Amino acid sequence: MRPVRTVARALLGSIFVLDGIRALTSPEKRAEAARPLADRIRPTLERADPRLPTDPVTLVRVKAVADVVAGLALATGRFTRPSAAVLAAGLVPHTLSDRGNRDEMLRDLGLLGGLLLAAADTEGRPGLRYRTSHAVQRSRRSARRTLRTARREARIAAVSAVTARKLPG
């Protein structure tokens, strides 16, 4: 299954790398498409931090850089789950802005599904929640075992002390 995951991640990540590079080289076209969405989120960005960029060209460039970095990370198998989550989060506004074009919207939804699968894929290894709950259970068992051993040793020591007092000499 590992070669399939590797190829799938490389193919999925390459779409975002190429798309991000195109957006970096000519952000003006995409900025016009993103302008309505940028205008809607401008008050939220200004409330969060007035230093954040709010113009559509800069927002397109920021998203493009995030797409390239996360796409490369996904394609190379580094930080695959966080990079897939970043790409999925960045794809949602893009999908919302493509509502007029049905083919683009369906493409984006397909990519979103693949990214969600990549973000949830643990490669057969247990997730963090499973590992932490089992670590807690193992430590509790170990603590109970240590307590039982200490009680048993204390009983043996007490019996030995009583027996030693009864011995002559």
pTM for this prediction:
0.69
Least confident piece of the model among 36-50, 56-70, 83-97, 114-128: 114-128
Same domain, 104 and 145: no
Residues 6 or more apart in contact with residue 80 via CB below 8 angstroms: 9, 73, 74, 118, 121
Residues 6 or more apart in contact with residue 90 via CB below 8 angstroms: 63, 66, 67, 70
pLDDT one-digit tens code per residue, 16-49 = 999 999 999 999 988 888 888 888 889 998 899 8
Query: Could you list the residue range(s) of the whole structural domain that residue 166 is in?
Result: 128-169
Number of domains in the chain: 2
169 falls in which pLDDT band (50, 70, 90)?
low
**Would the pLDDT of 1 be above 70?**
no
User: DSSP labels for 38-67?
Assistant: HHHHHHHHHHH-TTS--SHHHHHHHHHHHH
Same domain, 24 and 106: yes
Same domain, 96 and 151: no
